[in-house]
Each structure stands twice: as C-alpha cells, then as structure tokens.
Chains A and B, each alone.
Chain A
C-alpha cells in the first residue's frame, strides 16, 4: 500500500469523528479518575455512545498502525459490563449493533447487523444480515441476538451476567421495555415490548446493545463470575478484533477483521494507548506518536490549535449542561417567577464565552440542536438583572439564601465547575432580593451524584450526554419525575423525592403535568412528525417554566495528527 493510498478524505474523517460523540470531559492529572471519574480520564464512567464505530474508515499516512490516545485504561471490554466511554471506544470497534448510528449524521440510524427493521405498535421486527461471522468463527443468527439480550436482562437465564456485573444500561436499554425475544424464524428477530415505546430502535443502536456470540456466552459458563471474564476476550463481529489487552503498558491492540461485513477497515492495526494527563496526550498527538485523541480540555485544545502538525476538530455535541433548582427542598423555587428570575440573572453567555472559552454554545432548552424536537424559536434567556429584580419583587421574595452544590473536576458539559459556580453566585448576589448563594463543593463526582440523587441540594449543576440521540433520552429521562400523574397534587408543579416511583435523574423535583403528559405521549407515538411537534412543545414548556438554568451545549473535540488526512 502506498502512502497516497493510505490517506483518507478529510471531509469524511471530520464527519465520522464529529459524529462519534465522545465524552469530552477533561480532567487534570489529579482528577479523581474514577467516578466517572471523572477520570482523568474524566468522564470515564459516563458514556455517550452516539456515533458507533468509525475508526475503520480512518487511515494514517506512512503507517499500518493507527494509534488512538485516550485518558484511561479499563481492563474489561464487555459492552454489557460498563458505562465507560473509554471502554465503548474499543467495544464499538470490536462489536456491532443491529442498527447503528450513521457517523456524522447527528444520530441518524443506518443498517447494522440488521438490514431491515421496523417498529409497529409494540413489536420490533428485524431481518439479520446474511453471511456475518463473529471473530470466534461462529455465524450470526437470531439466537445470538436473543442470548445477548437475555444475558443482559434476564435473571432466569442460565448465562445471566449478574446484578453485580451488568451495567445500568441493561434495564435502561432493554430490561425496562422488552417483554420477549423470538428467534424461531431463521434470520428474523421479533422483539415484543411491554408497551409502545418509540425510541426502541434507537436503543438498539446504543453501544451497550452490541450483539455477542451465543456460542461465546454459553461457553463462558453458567455463573456471573464466568460471564464477567468475557470482558477480557471479547469477540464480536466488528471491523477489528481484539489481539491483546496489555495492562502493564495500558494498551489495547486490535487487528483488522478480514471477514468484516462492511467497508474497511483501512488500517491493519489499531492501538489504543493511555495517557491520563490531557496536556501530555495532546502533545503526543502533536509529536505524531498518536494519531487521534479526545476528552480535551480548553488548555489542551489550545495546544492543538497552536500547532501545524495536528488539528483540533470541533463539532456540536449532543449534550446539555444545566443548573437545576430543587423545588422539593427550597421553597422559593416553587414559584416560577423566582426560577425565571434566576435564569434572567445568570449570565450564561459569559460562562460559555469566557469560562468555557468558546468550546460550547449557550443553551436555550433541555434538548440540544440536531435532535428531533429542538425548538428553533426558543432563545437562551438574555441576561437582564432588572427583569430578574422585578420578577422577584412580584413574587414578594427577599432575603433569599440557598446552597449551590457543585462538583470539582471538569466534565465535558462543564469544564470549569468551580468557576461556573462562582460566576452564578456573583450574578445572583447582585440582586437585592438575594442575600447569599453558598457554594457546596464536592471532591468526587460519585459522592456528588449520591447527594443530588437524594435531593439534598437546593440547587446543583449537572449535565447529560445522550445515549441514543432521541428526545425522550433528555426530556423524559431528566425532567419527568416518572411518578403517577395522580401523585402530583392539583395546582402544584413539583413533587417530593420521596414520592413512589420518583426518578432521581430529575434533580429539580419538577412535576409539571402538562409536560409529563406531553413527553409520555410522545414516548409512545411512532409518527415522527407528531413526536416532533410534541417535543417542540415540551421544550417550550421547560424553557418557560425554567426548572433549570439552561447553561450550555458542549462541543465534541478531537485532536488529530496531520498524518490522518
């Protein structure tokens, strides 16, 4: 192969790289690498899977080995055992899903292991691609699909992964929705859902919905410990197959799967190496020792911008960063005028431009652009202290004093949490009615999540990277309390965190019944135009009722060496 042949069209790479949304949280060398940690690695335990495999389309000049530098080195590469973006980067190359996200399309679906698929009522029907083989040599059949889903969700299955091993994606992707999987027809899979659930096909494209080989699953042994070991020898149908997990040197080596059913791979070898510190990782790409990296903070992004030997690729990410006001705990927030006043007082433009250094855009609603139902008519709240003042006077509020909880280490949607909290504090304390905003800073993200899940905060910062680029994944997941509509008292738009069925992913306690009805109906509506209309309305409601201060939509950033062209 000549070097000319090895080059890839930059446009297609940009498309692919941008489409594969990654966790862009960045942390310094002392970040608490684990809770997600935020790990130096960053958003390690929060994943954004939209994008799927794309590295098979990438080529680097002058070498047969593509080197991808990442911030962390997990040792288990089972897509059903992880919520880590660092793992998903690898498993997305090794495994395929029935349906895949088309790289660069902003979450559009494309054929994967299924060539035809449909969702009618509560039945999903899929036709499997012919002639696909797993890396272990077995041929893809409907039984593999059934075994994959059962291993992830069915505790009665002999080869169930176990509560202690499976990730939260088990119920989230399949378990809460799937009633049964029929594999009796050759090459056909029929999945019966418990209810009509529009986002289901998108769930099938999530990284965690990877299809495993039934032979391998059953060969592992019938207990959770044996199943957990699959993560050290994953064998999917993807463009690359696992060659070696080199834990001593924190590397993973994949080689080209010559029998891959799709286009590519273009490179003979793909190596994931690990460099926890962002600046060092960026430098490694600049030096050409690595070809691609991600999880960049503003400092390392600038490093890449200031060099000729590498490039910083930027694309809108499918995420949102917000400050939630907890109506259950802090009584004044139950008055929408107070919430709107806070939204008018916080200068999100300054946060995005100055603190996030322009690597994000101001948010206007829960749903980021490019996702179905994003309401184009809504604008971010303009900073207007007078309007804020007047709203607080109308609400007869004085002497406001509340806690603002924040985490410490950067995350993609909030690369400078402490500075952001200080900006909000300063903006709000300028208002006559606000006596004090007390920042409560958490050192680890896990303890922070525990605190907010218990509803112990007055206000807090959080954010969300999409799982499946479906509006339901933002609007229902984050702002519907999941309680019965009857559980919301008349004339009230909030509920207690103690209400039966309450989902603690909704950290504002907001329970607006109009909103709840809208997103629930949209979740069960299969017609895309109707869904779009409902979500557009739901976004308007959220914008006007302001349970959150909508802060930002962060960009997805990647550093790419000049050899990748």
Chain B
C-alpha cells in the first residue's frame, strides 16, 4: 500500500517546482526580444498607438510589479486574457480547449510505445543474441534516431500520398462537427475534448473511424520513439533480472521457464521501465510540439509555438505551467506506482 503521507509530501513538492518553472518562464519571456504591444497593434500602428497598447496591457509597469501580479494570479491558475492567439479570451478557456488534444495524442503514443515496446524488449531479452534480438535492437536504435520532423512527413508521403489510405492532417474529417455535450440517461454531460472518446460517447461510429484514422499516424510518430526507448530499457532490465539468484532458484524448484519469466522476472524488470515511461511522457509532450505542427493538430504544443511567436505572454505562461503541472503529476503517479511495485522505495 502507498501511504497518504507519501502522496501528500510529493504533492507539496509541486509548489516549489511550479514556482521555479513560473519564474523561469516569466523571466525568459520578458528578457526575450519582441514587444507584444507591437504585435497587438500591428505593423500599421504608430509608436504612440503601440505605447497606448503597452499601457493598456500593463506592460509599462515595472517588471517586479508584473512578476508579483503574475504569481498571485498564477496561484489561482488565472493567467488573464490572451493578448493575441485568442484575443480578449481567458487563457484558462484556451487551455481547456487544447489540453485534451495533446493528452489524447500523448496517451495513444504512449499506448503504442508500451504495447509494442514491452513485448519487443521482453522477447529480445529472452532470446538474447538471436535474430529477433538483433532486429529489435536495430529497430530501437533507428526509432530513437529518427527525428519527428522527418518521420512525420515520410509517413504522410507513404500512407497519404502513395497509398492514399490515411488522411494527411487534422483530428477528424473536415465536414464532421460534434456537439458540445452528450446525454447519459437523459442527463446532458460535457464531452471530454478527446475526439476518439467523444465520438464513442456520442455513438457516432463513422466519426470514430475518422478520428481513429486521423490519430493513427501522429500517434505512431510519437509512439515510435517511446517504443524504441521502452523496448531497450525492458530488454536490458530483463537481462539483469534473469541473472538474479531468485530466478535460478525458481527454475531449480521446477517452475516452468515462461512462468518464471513472467511471474518473478517481469514485475521486477518493470520498475526501471515504469520510470522510463513516466519520464517519457514529458518527452511525448515535447514531441507533441513537432507532431502537432506536422499533422496540423491544434494541441498544447502548437499553441505554445504560436504563442511564443506572437509574444502572447499569458498563453505561454499558462501553457508552460500546465505542461509542468502535468509532467510533475505524471511523475507523482510514477513514484506511486514505483512504490507499489517495490515498497522499499517509499522508505
């Protein structure tokens, strides 16, 4: 069992982490060149008008004042209104729209990584130095080495251009629009924002197929890297475990090879793999920036890129802190899972 104290301690650690991230993103944004007022007013505006916008946005206040305002608001998860991307709209609403998009992409990518990576690593370890092992290792190395901005367009070329079996971009067919809510036993409930889930909740099979088709390539692009890393880690971890005394003992007492590997080896070998999967989730979120750009998906990654380009400080700050929160929460889940797998860790 995982103790409540352990979880609370980990949750409290979020505070300094988010404070640090918030301070860094605030500092970097305000030190970087580029005046948001100039973007808001546009190239046609005079210097006087740009000054008016700067004053109206509070950008003429001393930096420490802006910083304190930012911290106070951020503590309430209020980042104010977007300057440009969603002009005049609260950043919180923008994040609510975009976060499920990236989470869905990352989850499917992770799912692909785990579903293919773990069996591949396991197989490679059990059949060490066989052809299977070599193929897996070379495949993993290739997967780790291929950048998303290359693999993405290549997959589009292959599956969309040449074979014509999968769509080029987006999350769902351009003509398919989903309602905002779904009904369960007569009660109207909001949708999740994850299009594969929402289409199922709505019972719209055609839309689900369209969403799944759209998701396949981007999830594969993100998943390849994850798959490669997980399979490598699984292989090396498993190789270490199979050499342990308790494995030999299990075999000596007459237990079958498969049962020994799965019952005694797999769970122990999984500990470092779980860590990798957790940390990997952060990489997946980072990978979302490129993947979303290549595949025309409007998630958090694309939002951050756009917002940085537009010097839309509130959106950048909100999005980065949300990413940080997500990342640390995933790490917390990893830690909890970890201590479940090996109770000694909690100590």
Chain A residues within 8 Å of B, Cβ to Cβ: 29-41, 45-47, 63, 65, 67, 72-76, 78, 81-83, 162-165, 167-169, 171-172, 225, 228-229, 231-232, 244, 246-251, 253, 269, 271, 273-277, 279-281, 283-284, 286-287, 289-290, 442, 444, 446-447, 449-450, 453, 467, 503-505
Contacts and interface: CB of A to CB of B under 8 A. Distances in A.
Contacts of B311: 34-35, 446
A247 B86 contact: yes
Contacts of A289: 167-170, 174
A290 B174 CA distance: 8
Given A35-B39, A76-B88, A250 B49 contact: no
B88 A228 contact: yes
30 contacts: A29-B290, A33-B306, A45-B84, A67-B175, A75-B85, A78-B87, A81-B88, A164-B57, A168-B44, A168-B46, A169-B44, A228-B89, A232-B89, A248-B100, A248-B298, A250-B298, A269-B175, A274-B296, A276-B293, A276-B302, A277-B294, A277-B296, A280-B294, A284-B169, A442-B33, A444-B33, A449-B38, A449-B43, A453-B47, A504-B46
Contact of A247 (B94, B169, B175, B293): B94
B177 A244 contact: yes
A45 B41 CA distance: 10
A40 B298 contact: no
A4 to B, nearest CB: 21
Interface string B62-92: 0000000000000000000110111111000
A32 B43 contact: no
Interchain residue pairs A-B with the least CB separation, the first 9: A34-B309, A228-B88, A34-B310, A168-B45, A83-B42, A164-B56, A275-B296, A447-B33, A250-B298
Interface stretch (B19-27, B156-164, B223-231, B329-337): B156-164
Interface in B289-320: 290, 293-298, 302, 305-312
A167 B164 CA distance: 43
A499 to B, nearest CB: 13
A119 to B, nearest CB: 22
Contact of A450 (B34, B172, B308, B310): B34
B174 A251 contact: yes
B52 interface: yes
A39 B41 contact: no
Contacts of B305: 30, 32-33, 40
Given A32-B308, A67-B174, A450-B38, 20 more contacts: A29-B290, A39-B306, A40-B305, A74-B86, A75-B87, A164-B40, A228-B87, A229-B89, A248-B101, A248-B195, A250-B170, A275-B169, A276-B296, A277-B169, A280-B169, A280-B295, A287-B164, A289-B167, A467-B44, A505-B43
A89 B143 CA distance: 40
Nearest to B305: A33
Contacts of B172: 249
Contacts of B85: 34, 74-75
A contact patch SS: loop
Contacts of B170: 249-250, 273, 275, 289
Contact of B177 (A168, A246, A276): A246
Contacts of A279: 153
B38 A446 contact: yes
B55 interface: yes
Interface residues of B, number: 65
B171 interface: yes
B293 A45 contact: no
Given A172-B44, A284-B168, A289-B168, A248 B39 contact: no
**Residue of B42, B47, B101, B305 most packed against chain A (CB within 10 A):** B42
A33 B298 CA distance: 13
A275 B295 CA distance: 7
A246 to B, nearest CB: 6
Given A45-B310, A276-B296, A281-B296, A83 B43 contact: yes
A289 B310 CA distance: 29
Nearest to A47: B42
B309 A444 contact: yes
A249 B153 CA distance: 20
A39 B308 CA distance: 11
A220 to B, nearest CB: 11
A450 to B, nearest CB: 6
A284 B214 CA distance: 13
A81 B87 contact: yes
Nearest to A76: B87
A46 B86 contact: no
**Residue of A33, A40, A287 most packed against chain B (CB within 10 A):** A33
Contacts of A250: 170, 296-298
Contacts of A38: 309
Interface in B123-182: 149, 153, 156, 160-161, 164, 167-172, 174-175, 177
B193 interface: yes
B302 A83 contact: no
Contact of B49 (A81, A171, A229): A171
B209 to A, nearest CB: 15
Contact of B309 (A37, A280, A290, A504): A37
